[in-house]
Structure 1
Amino acid sequence: MENKMSDRTNTTIGDVAEALGVSKTTVSRAISGKGRISPATRNKVLEYIEKHNFKPNTIAKGLAQSKTFNICVTIPVECGVTEQVFFQTVLVGMCNYLSARDYDVVVADIAENDISNLERIISNRKVDGVIVTRTLIDGNIVEYLKATKIPFVTLGLYPDDEVVQIDANHTEGCGELVSFLLMRGFRRLALLGGNTKHIVTESRYRGFENAHKQAGLAVDRTLVYENMINDVVIEKAIDDILKKKADCILCMDDNICNTVLHKFNKEGIRIPEDIKIASFFNSILLENNHPSISCVDFDTTEEGMLAGKLILDLLDGEEVPTVTRLGYQVILKDSTK
């Protein structure tokens, strides 16, 4: 390899990285003098460059010097303590992947109608790319990022073929759980839905609806409750569901399910004897409940790691799929027996 490189007149950063067994990011940091890199590694790279008379071309050097080695991750400020479980686990996956490749994470708190923190970070050139952890139907974040031309990835679907997006297959997973319940003879299924501004809510509802269609049944709209965004509206909906004698309550996510479980425990309502319950999303909030809760399980840490990989691939100019779908597991437990 050394002789090969000595003969080259246009050696790249990638060639140096391959020869030394380090990442291109490490070579870029050694050249630019920016970012986390040990003195020993920096000296190793610079000595190799000097020994082989490597002169990075102007573009390569400019790219190396302009990199921040930071990735911005957006977190919704309106998510409650229980909702933070999802964002924490995806963030762990991102940090594990990115830190192993010498990148750091900068978190931007954003609201549905206020993305000023994200705008400030990008306008000040603090980051090289962005990972959006929640997609909204109005799409203000995505449209802003497209306008800035900064590379970005979304967790969650977005109706734009130019946007790189990762999503667990919520529609199929939720549909499969509902199909199991319908096959077991449960017909009066109540649904406690999430925020209708979130695209994931739309995806999960589509699964609920598809399962009914496949079974030749109509959705009972009087048992569908949307925008269950706080304990007050959830508890009011539960009272209504109990009066209507539903067979089973399907919760759009773990936060809603956790609220239902607390109310049932407080009021002595037995699961599954009095009513069945299941969740379209599993998390540690539900793991230790008795009885155990039937649910759809998604690997959110894997989702975070994949987001980290895709954003770095985009930064390296590699071709990446527009939409990546992750798998799921339907887990039937005691709560629907």
Structure 2
Amino acid sequence: MKLAIHHTKGSFSERWINYCRDNAVPYTLVDCYRNDIIEQLKDCDALLWHWHHGDYKAVRFARQLTYSLEAAGIKVFPDSKTAWHFDDKVGQKYLAEALQMPLVPSYVFYSKEEAHVWANTTTYPKVFKLRGGAGASNVKLVRSASDADRLINKAFGRGFAARDRFNRFRDALWRLKRDRNRAAFFGLFKGIGRIFLPTVYENMQGREKGYVYFQEFMPDNNYDTRIIVINGKAFAIRRYNREGDFRASGSGLIGFDKKLFDERMVRISFDLANKMQAQSLALDFIYDQQQQPLIVEMSYGFMMPVYDPCTGYWDQQLNWHEGAFNPQQFMVEGLIDQIVQQKPAFS
């Protein structure tokens, strides 16, 4: 058995490499961006590549490479069942509905006329989102039909930049007020620059247009809960809203105590991960007005340092395992199990 790892500084690959070294697991480093990536993998049983939605090159071909390797019998992390919906909120809507999971009621339109009819007959507020983006970017609270109509006209007209530059600036300003450190100070200057200079990602991705996507607004949620399931283990954080904002994602205000978490959300997360056969599944939850958990969005990846203070994890029987752990270890172990068993491993 031999693993191939695409290494990117600051990604999961740093801990994958350390795990392989510490446990004498044979591995080699590969470069997925090279033309000969298939040749690089000729003597490998699996590929691990933590690709990111903000990497326009990876977005162009990561899924296609994954499908191709799976067709040849090579295991991949993340595999197609884990990552096809990554950074695609519209795809996540269809998936959650098809699997009858409790998603926040969501609406997508591919016709300007149908969208306007809906906007002028529904209730408000609603939440507008682009299909891509993380950390609460590309998310707006829509308070009236006239606000919705303006967004619909733009969606079927000029479209939206792949990144909301003014929102990024506001986020940078908020972090400066919260952290008051050098990193936040330089982040603000970077945010100012991004107002005038688009990123390479924006230039390469083009504008989002030709559809419009809304979700119901769920009031009285001062935080959301992120549950992550990997290889039969689940862990969680609570993310509190920014002051004066309905969004929690990207706030950096986080709780870790086990007492904060609703085990109904953990059960739902295990259930969906098993139905999807997902190697890694991250779900964001809020509550409806009857205090029932609802899924907002899903992903396969997450920021590593944020979860290091987690105090333990649940197994599939909801037994709690106290103490520090390494989620990236779970990923490698799950992939090795798949190689050994030569069949898809349920989370």
TM-score under structure 1 length normalisation: 0.37
The structure with the largest helix share of the pair is: 1
TM-score under structure 2 length normalisation: 0.36
- Pair member with larger Rg: 1
The structure with the largest strand share of the pair is: 2
